[in-house]
Structure 1
Amino acid sequence: MKNQPLIQTEMETEIQFNPFSPEIERVIHTTNSQQEIWTDCIFGGSDANKAYNLSVSINLKGNLVIDLFERAVDTLIKRHESLRATFSPDARFMCIYKNVNFEISQNDLSDLPTIEKESTIDHIVKEEVNTLFDLVNGPLFRVNLIKVEDYEYIATLTIHHIIGDGLSIDVILEELGALYSAYVENKEPKLPNPERFSEFAERINSFMESSEYKPQENFWINIYKESVPTIELPIDFERPALRTYNSNRLDFPLDDAIINDLKNTGISAGCSLVTTLLAAFEVFLCKITGQNDLVVGFPSSGNTLYDMRQLIGDCANLLPLRSKINPEISFIKYLKQRNSQLFDAYEHQQVSFGHLLKSFAIARDPSRIPLVPVILTVDLNRTIEDDFSFTGLSHKLKPNPRQYGTFEIQLHIFRAKEGPSFQWLYNTTLFKEETITKMMEVFEEVIKKVTSEASNPLSDIIGGNYLANYNVLNSTEMTYPNVSLSELLRKQAEITPNNIAVEFHDSKTTYLELQKKINQLAHYLKAQGVESGDFIAVSFSRSPDLV
């Protein structure tokens, strides 16, 4: 897809389009969320762009009718605006086409030896998952079909987050299965009318201009007006000056009995499993960071908010949930607090995360993700594989791991056919694989403890009252001689002139050498007219020169 003839909007903004592109159906204003994704892709480069690729593979066994599968994909694209969309070069507008020429890429590996076949499948899927999308020219949705054997295929579906989220993947799978099944059975497909993303975007953008928006924004500003915490995760490598998007994913199963115990603990406090898992995850973060003031990114669904469940589009919004853990209270009490706070957050979920960042007093650090390096998503209410089917075929779903990711740690907890699965997507520039494995072990231990020791102080689970330890560490008050620091150093230089006063890397300075440098600086300042009682601004990195 290419851009189209010149379009003049009500904002009198001109966008140049390619006259050889498909016919345009409509041009709409993008949402704040889409503009945030675009900005990250532009400033973060190709790795950032690839970090927004969402991909799943379906292993299909049986007599797949390829023509009908292609017809089902074509109908799916015609039903949903986002699958026919591209973006203006400044990301202000989303261009929706009436029809697009969509082709499914295909690979026939049925004649390859088994060992070579497996490696080739792995290579093809990785290419599909990690290939860059062109946000201006499109398409932003692709399908690949691998023929493994005569009666086995792997269909890989990949979409860019700017036109679809996790729930969009669910809608794609459900509708694709229903459409294919109807065509195989020679029936008219019976699907709910598709929701239009253009309508969703209009509602979101109109709300920002309404009188209701400011109170929503103020709710979040008040939470962060006094301070904004920085989460210091226990990383394995030195943090680079510029953040990277290099990622890997580890998947861990968890016994359903453990999840059921946690669910019952939540029920006893009047809380859902989602809230209980969030609270347990926050206790886990407190344990591994030693921090009581935390922020966890928690996605909310615009589809649900506006009751537009048959919608494909970027409708997710990231809620920056702040928690302050008191180690003296029990998990049950903490859980009840979080339940109330989470309800408040959901009532104010219409303010986009990017808009909030502009409102917060956050010092931007190019080496870090602003505010929310850690993300948690929970979907344990259903098994997505049970929600779609293909007539005459058995299927198995696999969410594909990415080589690039946006966050330092993103934990997705969902229900697979085999049971609960914990997927850890982590930044490989910061973490080793064994560290993430250890984190999963610690988190599982925390989950077990918050269920078995729910009425005990959280300090029993965390492993200590970090706040009390912090206060002890910073309780540095002591008696001090009523003489100046320079006089103390002069006397020490007389007593032990050759003892080391300052050591920094390979550099060592004795008390005598330090005293000479002090005298030199003092004489220089005096020559500049500095007198006793004057204030002197000092700006040095942490080094011997600062001393």
Structure 2
Amino acid sequence: MKATAVPPTALQDIVARLVRLPEEKQTLFLRRLREQGIDPARLPLVPFPQGEEAPLSFAQARLWVLWTLDPASPAYNLHRTLRLAGDLDRDALDGAFTALVARHESLRTVFRAVDGDARQRVLPPAPVAVPVEDLSALAPDEREEAARRIVAEEAERPFDLTAGPLLRLRLLRLDGREHRLSVTMHHIVADAWSMAVAMAEFARLYAARRQGGDAGLPALPVRYRDHALWQRRLVEAGELERQRAYWLDALAGDPPALDLPADHVRPALRSGRGATVAFTLDAGLAGALRGLARAHGATLFMVLLAAFQALLYRCTGQTDVRVGVPVANRDRAETEGVIGLFVNTQVLRARVAGNLSFAALLAEVRRTALAAQANRDLPFEQLVEALQPERSLSATPLFQVLHNHLRDTATAAQALPGLAVEPVEAPLTAIGVDLTLDTAEAADGSVRAALSYATDLFRRATAERLRDRYLALLRQVAAAPERPVGDLALLLPDEAQALAATNAPSPGFDGVLLAERIAAQAAARPDAPALVCGDTVLDFAALEERANRLAHELAARGVGPEVRVAVALE
């Protein structure tokens, strides 16, 4: 049905009528709107009357299930550490976080199972006292080491979703003018965007308390549980059926597990432990890739994703390459300043072949990404439910590799009066998939990147080689985008040298092949021993006869030049 254009004021009136309806009639109202050509997904998001408990969003429901399966896992902890140098006002610190938690319901939400149905419950605001650990009595080098150890422990310490709080703070005092502030949240109440919101608002609230003024933060138009309820209303009204149909078609067929060459056997239950290899695309390379993107009507993200999928194809030989891509999912202005789990995950599929040029692959990735954005409202959890992939505790459904293209927030320090603030990069210790590529465009034109890997599967040296192959591939496609993907050189310099040495002819080689030498011996000395295996002895005549018989048999089965034949030997 063709969509009906409705003025914004009329949309506000429609929503006002919807909110006043009893809960059991809201779904019917939305269905009738759709029949009239009004897209309910485009209605403004407004607060809904709700009690103390509310349903979970679909993303929260998935994380709740994962937590119940493994409550001790740190895989879904979000962590940030700030170095604070200068005159820290402890009262302003506590007051800022007290105000932040009172402002955002998600930061005082807990989760309970009620008659088998998980519900979120918002607790009343309460004062926040940031716990302090004094390390100043230690020697300077011991303080730094203790701070690193404690921060790493904070990042890995699990949360109890039923008891809370799901915002965990800790202040480490190294001396009178040097502190580390550790901030950890569970992913069920926040996402990366939310962490940036929390840090920005904390800075404004701290400054206001330090200076005796008003932080000037605008009132939040909605709460996270309004989003959760609205999401379920849209599903009940059938609004997402069209998008579900798109994704079912786009991801048709059994999703192949991406079989990356691993160092260890995949465990029956993944531990969630991970590590990271950081690297940078310098401004020159990043600029060349941006130029490539402009020439093909694409974005830098699309170029980086296409190159990543080309790398995965070359490493696995699999032509159906599916990569998970997180999207902020905050297309409504009402949600921009709300802390909560809004992020959605899309599965972007590329069909790669060795004779396909990189430019053609980029065009396919561009089409796929744009179509995905046009169908971005379907929650990932609904997609998993619709596709019904085989479930396993050893791997994630639908994809095993993630690409996350971010705003560069790690280098943006928040200004605090009397303090120099610097983000501290904490080592990643948990990961939810096999492999994650994070990329972020920096102000100097470079691209900060990190390749995170599951230590259950990969050693660091393997991740470093994957990183180096990715960089080598990016340099080649920037210079020659029409080059076929199968012709892109992925061997690293040391590997190329080793291969050349292996294939080099030995000194004094006269060009006579081993088979020819054996044939000559069979003619000249047919009875001489050629092979000995235990008590069995073959002379040259018998060896030549057996070899010829086997060769004819293989040729009859279609074996010719450059055809590989497996050989089983003791």
Q: 1:280 aligns with which of 279, 290, 307?
A: 307
Task: Quote the Cα distance in structure 1 between the aligned partners of 2:334 and 2:293.
Answer: 27
State whether structure 2 residue 158 is matched by structure 1 residue 158: no
- Could you tell me which amino acid in structure 2 is paired with residue 71 of structure 1? G
Contiguous gaps of at least 5 residues in structure 2: 1-21, 25-49, 492-532, 535-570
Does structure 1 residue 373 correspond to structure 2 residue 407?
A: no
Question: Does structure 1 conserve the Cα–Cα contact (< 8 Å) formed by 2:105 and 2:224?
Answer: yes
| 1:266 and 2:293 matched | yes
1:72 aligns with 2:96: yes
Q: Deviations over 1:498-532 (max 9, x none)?
A: 99xxxxxxxxxxxxxxxxxxxxxxxxxxxxxxxxx
- Tell me if the contact between 1:252 and 1:423 (Cα under 8 Å) persists in the aligned partners: yes
User: For residues 128-277 of structure 1, what are the structure 2 equivalents within 5 Å?
Assistant: 128-194=154-220, 195-277=222-304
1:265 positional shift: 0.8
Quote how far apart the aligned CAs of 1:252 are: 2.0
Deviation at 1:10, TM superposition (A): 8.0
1:442 & 1:115 partners in 2: Cα distance?
Answer: 37
Deviation at residue 84 of structure 1 after TM alignment:
1.0
8 Å CA contact 1:51, 1:402 repeated in 2: no
Q: CA deviation at 1:307?
A: 5.0
Residue of structure 1 equivalent to 2:457: 430
Q: Identity of counterpart residues, as a percentage?
A: 26
Change (3 A) 1:387 1:303: farther
The answer to whether the 8 Å contact 1:55/1:158 transfers is: yes
Contact 2:472/2:490 (8 A) holds in 1: no
Deviation at 1:192, TM superposition (A): 3.0
Which amino acid in 1 is paired with 2:317? G
Provide TM-score, normalisation by structure 1.
0.77
Q: Which residue of 108, 112, 115 maps to 2:138?
A: 112
Tell me the amino acid that sits aligned with residue 96 of structure 2.
Answer: A
Q: 1:411 is matched by which residue type in structure 2?
A: L
Give SS of 2:52's match.
strand
> What CA distance in whole angstroms lies between the structure 2 residues aligned with 1:455 and 1:64?
56
**AA paired with 1:364?**
R
Residue 362 of structure 2 is aligned to residue 338 of structure 1:
no
CA deviation after TM superposition for structure 1 residue 361, in Å: 4.4
> Aligned partners of 1:78 and 1:122: how far apart in 2?
30
What is the correspondence of 1:325-404 to structure 2 with a 5 Å cutoff? 325-380=352-407, 382-386=408-412, 388-404=414-430
The equivalences for 1:363-512 within 5 A come to 363-380=390-407, 382-386=408-412, 388-415=414-441, 420-461=447-488
Cα-to-partner distance string for 1:160-180 (whole Å, 9 max, x where unaligned)? 000000101100111111111
Task: Give the number of aligned pairs.
Answer: 444
**Shift of residue 225, structure 1, vs aligned partner:** 2.7
Shift of 1:392: 2.1
Offset from partner CA, 1:445-469 (integer Å, 9 cap, x none): 11111111112222222669xxxxx
- Give the conservation status (yes or no) of the 8 Å contact 2:256–2:320: yes
Give the CA RMSD over aligned residues. Answer: 2.5
Match of residue 126 from structure 1: 152
Per-residue Cα deviation, 1:5-32 (whole angstroms, up to 9, x for no partner):
xxxx989xxxxxxxxxxxx973211011
Tell me what 1:289 maps to: 316
Instruction: Work out the CA distance in 2 between the residues paired with 1:215 and 1:309.
Output: 26
Q: 1:387 to 1:211 in 2, by over 3 A?
A: farther
Between the aligned partners of 1:291 and 1:316, the Cα distance in structure 2 is 29
- Alignment correspondent of 1:318: 345
Look up the SS of the partner of 2:72 in the other structure: helix
Q: Is the 8 A contact 1:376 1:412 kept in 2?
A: yes
Query: Deviation of residue 139 (structure 1)?
Result: 0.4
The CA distance in 2 between the partners of 1:46 and 1:416, in whole Å, is: 35
Alpha-carbon deviation of 1:45?
A: 4.1
